[in-house]
Structure 1
Amino acid sequence: MKKLITTLAAMLFCLTVLAQQSAAQITYNRHALNLREQDELYRDALKNDHVTPGFVSPVSVQLLLGSQGVGADIKYGFLPRLSGRVGFGIIPVNAGRNFHFSSFKVHGQLTSRFSNLHLLADYSPFATQSIRVVGGASYLIKGNANVIISPTGGYHIGSRSVTKDQLGAIYANAYWKGLAPYLGIALFRDFPDKVFNVNLDIGSYYLSSPATSFTGTELLSDNDDNAKQFNKNMSGYRWLPVVQVNFNFRLK
C-alpha cells in the first residue's frame, strides 16, 4: 500500500512538471512568435523609411548665395529621406550703364529689391541623398524692379536744340508680392556627414502677375500707349529662376 501511494505521488509529480514545462514552452513559443512579428514589422518599416537604426534627426544652418540673392535657412531632418527648411532671401541690386536709344545716348539705372520668407521640403528618392526633389512656397515681402532711362546730353530736333533736362526721363516699374510656389531639384548631400558641406539648388518660383507703371517727364511724358504695351509685356514675367549654392554647417 505504501509503495502504491509512493508510486502515485511520483506519477502526479511528473505530470505536474510536464504540464508546467508544456505551459512554459507554449509561452516561449508565443513570445518568440511575437518577436518575429515585431521584427518583420520593423524590417517593413525600414524598407519604407519609417525607422532607421540609430537615426538622429539632423539640424543645420544653411547660408545661401545665388540668383535669389543672399540669405539663410534652418534645416531639420524628419526622416532619412525627408527634411524641411525655413529661411529668407534678399536681393539688393543697383546697376547703371550708358547705351544708345534710337539716335542719342542715354543712361539706364536699374534698381531691384526682392525679399522673401520661404518654407521648403526636400525628398530624396535615392538612399545616397545626392539628388533631391524640392517643393514648397515663398512669401514675397517685397519685389520691386525699377528702371530710369535719362539722356546723357542734349538733342537736336530739326533746327531746335533741347537740353537733357528739357527732354526729361522715363520711369518703368514692376511690383510683385504675395505667395509664390516653388519646385526644383537639389544636388549633393542634404546634411554634412561631419560639420560642413556644400550643395546646390536649381529651380524656379512662380510669381503672381506684376503691377506696373510706365511714366515720363517733360517731352517724354506722353506715354499712355507705351504704358499699355509695357504692362502687356511684363504680365508674362512670372518665373523667378533659382540657381544657388548652399553652405551647410551641421549643429546636430
Structure 2
Amino acid sequence: MKKKKKQLLFIFLISFSLLGQSQEIEKKNAFAISIGSPGLGLEYARKVSPKLNAKVVWQTFKLEDFEKEDLEIKDDVVDLLATIESSIIDLGIEYLPFKNSSFKLTTGLGLLSKVNANALITYTEDVKYGDITITKENIGEINADVTWSGVAPYLGVGFGRPVPKKRFGFGVEFGTYFTSSPDVELTATNLLSPTSNQKENLKEALDTFKFIPRIQIRLAYKF
C-alpha cells in the first residue's frame, strides 16, 4: 500500500511539474490599439528575441468638412472648408537596447495608401475697389488638393514594450515618416482663375513638407 502511495505521489509531482512548465511557456504575441497623429490604429506585434520585436499596424484618420470662418490672409478675409484623411500600414521593428528598461528604438516602412488634405477657400464678403463692388460669387473660389503616397521610411523612439511583460501594457512613441514631395492640384474659378497658374509655386513651397509626424499612445494585450 505504501508503495502505491509513493507511486501516486511521484506521478502527481511529475504531473504538477509538467503543468507548471506548460504554464511558464512565454507568450510572444500582442494585440494593441493606438491613437495619435496617424489616427486610430490596430496593431499586431510578435516578440522575435528578448530585445527585438516585429509588428504590423493599420492606421486611419478622417476629418471631414472642417470649417474656419473669417480667416485673414494678408488683407483678405476668407472662409476655409477643409477635409483631411489618411490610411497608413506600418511594417516595423522595435529594438529595446536595455534589459530592464522599456525604452525602445523603432524603424520600418509606412505604406501611404492615402494621405490627403483638401482646402476650399472662398471670400467671406464682397470686395470694393473705390465705387466698384465685386460680389464674392463673382470673385470665385480656390480649391487646393495635396496628396502624399508611396512608401515612406520612419524612425522613432518611445517607451513601452510591444509585447508587455504583464497581460496589459501601455506605451508612447515619437517619430516621423520621411516622404517624397506631395502631388498638388490647384484650381480656381471666376476672377481667381489666374491663381491656378501658381500650382508649381505651391508645389515648391510644399517641398519642405517631407516629414509627417508620427506620435502614438498605445494599449497592448499579450496573448
User: What TM-score, normalized to structure 2?
Assistant: 0.83
Whether the 8 Å CA contact 1:131–1:187 is kept in 2: the answer is yes
Where structure 1 has 5 or more consecutive residues not aligned to the other structure, the ranges are 1-53
Q: Which runs of 4+ in 1 moved over 6 A?
A: none
Q: Deviations over 1:208-238 (max 9, x none)?
A: 2111122211111102552221111012211
Cα distance in structure 1, aligned partners of 2:48 and 2:26: 9
> What is the rounded CA distance, in whole Å, between the counterparts of 2:185 and 2:207 in structure 1?
12
Which has the larger share of strand?
2
Are 1:184 and 2:156 counterparts? yes
**Shift of the alpha carbon at 1:57?**
4.7
User: In the TM superposition, what is the alpha-carbon distance from 1:55 to its structure 2 partner?
Assistant: 6.4
Counterpart of 1:102 in structure 2 is 74
Which of residues 70, 81, 105 is equivalent to 1:133?
A: 105
Contact 1:104 1:155 in 2 (8 A): no
1:189-214 deviation per Cα after TM superposition (whole angstroms, max 9, x unaligned):
33333321210111111112111122
Alignment length (residue pairs): 198
Alignment of 1:43-192 (within 5 A): 56-94=26-64, 95-98=66-69, 99-192=71-164
- The answer (yes or no) to whether the contact 1:57–1:78 under 8 Å persists in 2 is no
Q: Percent identity?
A: 26
1:71 shift after superposition: 1.1
Contact map agreement 1:57 1:76 (CA 8 A) in 2:
no
What value does the CA root-mean-square deviation take over the aligned residues?
1.6
The answer to whether the 8 Å contact 2:94/2:106 transfers is yes
The alignment partner of 1:223 has SS state of helix
Larger Rg: 1
Q: Provide, for residues 132-182 of structure 1, a one-character-per-residue CA deviation record: whole Å limited to 9, x for no partner.
A: 111110111011111111012211122111211111111112111110001
Consecutive unaligned residues in structure 2, runs of 5 or more: 1-23
User: More deviation in 147-156 or 100-109?
Assistant: 100-109
Residues 217-228 of structure 1 correspond to what in structure 2 (within 5 A)? Answer: 217-228=189-200
Q: Which amino acid aligns with 1:97?
A: K
Compute the TM-score of the two structures, normalised by the length of structure 1.
Answer: 0.74
Structure possessing the higher relative contact order (Cα contacts under 8 Å, 6 or more residues apart): 2
CA distance in 2, matches of 1:132, 1:56: 21
Q: Are the aligned partners of 2:40 and 2:61 in contact in 1 as well (CA < 8 Å)?
A: yes
State whether residues 27 and 222 of structure 2, in contact with CA within 8 Å, keep that contact through their aligned partners in structure 1.
no
Which residue matches 1:197?
A: 169
Which has more helix, going by share of residues?
1
